[in-house]
Each structure stands twice: as C-alpha cells, then as structure tokens.
C-alpha cells in the first residue's frame, strides 16, 4: 500500500509523535509498503523525495518545531491524493488538509488521538482566553473525529476521554510501539562520563520541557528528596521553548538544587537507550499524557517508573508492579519517590517486572496490528474509488517513483 503519514511537525524536531511516526514508517517499509511523510518546513528546506519526506512551505512558530500553513505545495497535494490511505497525527493543520484533499476522492482517513488536547488548550491557542480556547477545541475535535473513518488512541483511558467528547466514529485502541530490543539490551552510558558516581541514585526524566509536563511539581518533590538523601541526582533529558527553559532553570536555582539537577538538552533518539540504562528510576509528574512513550522506553531499559495516577500514565504503569503511582499531591509523591530510592529490593523487583511488561509494546507487533486496520479500511473503500485516483497516481509516480 501507499500510506501517507500527515504531521504538523517532523524530524529533526523530537517528540513522542515524531518518534512514533518515524518508527512506524521504518517498520512498514521493511514489510513492503511505501510510506510518505507529509509535513511543513521553512521554504529553503526542500523535500527529501528519496526518503519520501514531503515538506510544504510553512512559517515557523517560534522555536516550537511547528509551522503555520494552510495548504500543501502542488507536488505534495498530487502525491497525497495518490495514497491508498492517509493517517493524520495532528488534527489541526494536517487534519484540515486531509479532509480538503482526500475526502472528496474517497481516500480513507485514520486519525490517532496522540495528545490531551482537552488539557492543553492554552498551548495550542495561547493568545485566546482559556475559556474560549478550551471551547474551540472541545467543539473542533469531535467534529474532526466524526469526519474520519477510524480513530485510534494508545490507551483504554483515552477511549473515555473521546466518549466524553461524544465521538461516535469507531475507536480502536492501539498502543504506541518502540524498538524494544534496543532498550532491553542497551549498554549503559558510563556514569563517569557525566561526573556521576557508581553509588549515586540516578533519577531521569525524558521529554519536552513544557508547561503541560508539570516539571515544577517534579522539581519541588525532588528538592525535598535531595534534603533526605545525599547521593540522589536528577537527569533531565529534553528541551523546550527557551523562555520556559529559563523559568525551569531559575526554579532549580531558587530551590537550591543546582548541584543535583543536570540538564542534557536534546539527546539523539538512538543514544537514549544508553542514557536510560545508566539510571535507576524514571520519574514523571505529567498528568496530560495519552500514553507516555517515555515511560515504556524506560520500562524496556528496566527502570521502575514513578508517576502520578492519571490517564495515560496509569494505563502503562501498574502501581506496585512496574512502578509506583501517587495522587497529584506533593507530600504523597515525595513519600513514594523516597521509598523507591531507599528500598533497593523493591526497586529490583519492579525493574524485572517493568522489563517484562514492556514486551507488549514492540513496534513489530504494533505495526502489524495497524496495517491490518489499514487493509480493512482500504478494502471497504475500493468499490467507491474515484476514477481520477488512477490518474493522480500516475502523476504522483512521475514525482516519486
């Protein structure tokens, strides 16, 4: 099949969505499919036709990795309309373009609900009052979901969120996948290379440095922990908008934990398994996850997860089995994190369980399941195909063989 992945941002920008799309593309191509990524970039950044990365011109939105654009280039449009199926990973720009270009010529559209848009309205519409931006999203998202043929979401908890939005389109639960063997067999990065000691207790957070990740809560909990345990350190892997990074750096200074909190900035995805394997505990305070891919990657590396009981995190981390979950209260979170640091036997058992539990998220299994859904949709649309689609495909093949 010719499969079009539509995203508002793509590599080199690093996020759970861009990583997942890249993994799916690679795995689908291994089993014989042609996968195209349709996205945006500044005009001077041309498409990579050899690797089927199709970029249309866009205006960068600060340093977020996202671009503003209302249409695809002519070549991108022709290519998109030659697809057997399109898969939307961002509902706003990419979602609207999928409806504009694909619906009229009967190309089935799949949408994955990756993010807690209902909790992140201000991040998407920052110039509007919160009440208004929330209302806009709660109106737009159900309408968009009703316009596609299949909605997938990575956890059962997200099905309830979609049901609360009154989405009636078929919903299929499909977890995000990772290259599990790379995490399970990774050789740890040398602690000495980052000036850590072998007996230090290393906590690690991996993800964007962004408001919705609840990082101030995590730092405040860590500040209390650092007073009680002299050899505990927190490694923060990731980056964000410079203004917010500066706020987090200032908070670290104010909490007087600058000697215990260490920022790596962006780390190449292929290097991430070695960083995780070096650490002892994965920590997150986010309550705005649909899945929490970083949690599963950490579990694959054998790290127990310390998090907050919420949709997404609670769907992937079993409290007392693969990690510890607390309420969204600072004393409760700090107490459980302290226990996890001090109880070595508990940590070892949770580590074993986490590694075993991560196996069900193997990218090969996830890809096989997703492609099966594609085939079902593609077959159901075959009798209704527009006569123009064969013409569009012939045009597209002249652009990208």
DSSP letter string, 337-350 = HHHHHH-HHHHHHH
pTM above 0.85, yes or no: no
Mapping DSSP to helix (H, G, I), strand (E, B) and coil, where does residue 306 land?
Answer: strand
Same domain, 260 and 336: yes
Q: What is the pLDDT of residue 13?
A: 79
**Tens-digit pLDDT profile for residues 363-381:** 999 999 999 999 999 998 7
What is the distance between the alpha carbons of residues 316 and 14, in angstroms, rounded to a whole number? 21
* 356 and 366 housed in the same domain: no
Assigned token pair, 233: 């350190």
Do 305 and 239 sit in the same domain of this protein? yes
> What is the greatest pairwise CA distance in the chain?
71
**Domain match, 190 and 334 both:** yes
The alpha-carbon radius of gyration of the chain (Å, integer) is: 22
pLDDT at position 140 is: 85
CA-to-CA separations, 182 to 273, 296, 389, in angstroms, rounded: 7, 12, 40
Residue 393 is predicted with a pLDDT of 56
User: What was the pLDDT predicted at 120?
Assistant: 59
User: Same domain for 238 and 292?
Assistant: yes
Note the pLDDT tens digit of each residue in 277-311: 999 999 999 998 888 889 999 999 999 999 999 98
Instruction: Report CA dihedral (96, 101, 105, 109) to the nearest 10 degrees.
Output: -40
| Domain range for 316 | 180-360
- pLDDT for res 367: 98
Q: Do 159 and 116 share a domain, yes or no?
A: yes
Residues 158 and 45 in one domain: yes
Low-confidence residues of the chain, pLDDT below 70? Answer: 118-137, 382-401
Query: For position 388, what pLDDT does the model report?
Result: 53
User: Are 218 and 349 members of one domain?
Assistant: yes
Looking at the structure of the chain, the number of domains it has is 2
| pLDDT confidence of residue 115 | 81
Q: Is there a single domain that holds both residue 352 and residue 391?
A: no
Claim to verify: residue 36 and residue 68 sit in the same structural domain: yes
d(CA 401, CA 115): 34
Burial class (CB in 10 A: 0-12, 13-18, 19+), 132: exposed
> Do both 71 and 155 map to the same domain?
yes
Q: Which two tokens mark 308?
A: 């907050």
Q: Are 175 and 155 in contact (CB under 8 A)?
A: yes
> Beta strands 281-283 and 85-88: pairing type?
unpaired
CATH of residue 121:
3.40.50.2000
Residues 303/280, Cβ–Cβ less than 8 Å: yes
Instruction: Determine phi and psi for 117, rounding to 5 degrees.
Output: -60, -30
| Residue 127 burial by Cβ neighbours in a 10 Å radius (0-12, 13-18, 19+) | exposed
User: Could you tell me if 103 and 127 lie in one domain?
Assistant: yes
pLDDT at 378: 92
């Amino acid at each position: 099949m010719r499969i079009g992945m539509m995203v508002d941002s793509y590599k080199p920008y690093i996020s759970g969505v861009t990583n997942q799309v890249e993994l799916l593309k690679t795995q689908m191509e291994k089993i014989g499919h042609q996968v195209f990524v349709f996205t945006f970039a500044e005009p001077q950044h041309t498409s990579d036709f050899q690797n089927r990365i199709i970029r249309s011109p866009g205006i960068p939105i600060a340093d977020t990795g996202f671009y503003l654009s209302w249409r695809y280039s002519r070549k991108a449009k022709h290519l998109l309309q030659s697809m057997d199926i399109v898969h939307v990973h961002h509902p706003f720009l990419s979602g609207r373009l999928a409806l504009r270009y694909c619906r009229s010529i009967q190309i089935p559209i799949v949408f994955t609900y990756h993010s807690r848009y209902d909790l992140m309205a201000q991040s998407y519409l920052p110039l509007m009052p919160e009440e208004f931006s929330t209302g806009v999203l709660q109106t737009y998202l159900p309408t968009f979901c009703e316009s596609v043929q299949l909605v997938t979401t990575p956890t059962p908890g997200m099905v309830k969120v979609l049901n609360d939005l009154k989405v009636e389109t078929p919903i299929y639960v499909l977890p995000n996948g990772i290259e599990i063997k790379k995490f399970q067999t990774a050789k740890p990065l040398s602690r000495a290379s980052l000036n850590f000691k072998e007996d230090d207790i290393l906590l690690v957070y991996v993800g964007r440095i962004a408001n919705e990740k609840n990082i101030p809560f995590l730092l405040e909990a860590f500040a209390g922990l650092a007073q009680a345990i002299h050899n505990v350190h927190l490694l923060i892997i990731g980056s964000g908008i410079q203004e917010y990074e500066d706020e987090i750096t200032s908070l670290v200074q104010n909490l007087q934990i600058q000697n215990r909190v260490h920022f790596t900035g962006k780390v190449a995805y292929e290097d991430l398994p070695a960083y995780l394997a070096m650490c002892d505990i994965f920590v997150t305070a986010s309550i705005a996850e649909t899945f929490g891919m970083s949690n599963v990657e950490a579990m694959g590396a054998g790290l127990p997860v310390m998090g907050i009981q919420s949709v997404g995190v609670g769907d992937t981390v079993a409290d007392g089995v693969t990690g510890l979950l607390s309420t969204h209260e600072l004393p409760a979170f700090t107490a459980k994190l302290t226990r996890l640091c001090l109880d070595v036997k508990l940590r070892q058992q949770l580590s074993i369980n986490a590694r075993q539990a991560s196996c069900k998220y193997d990218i090969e299994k996830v890809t096989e399941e997703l492609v099966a859904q594609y085939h079902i949709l593609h077959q159901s649309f075959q009798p209704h195909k527009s006569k123009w689609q064969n013409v569009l495909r012939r045009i597209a093949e002249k652009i990208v063989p």
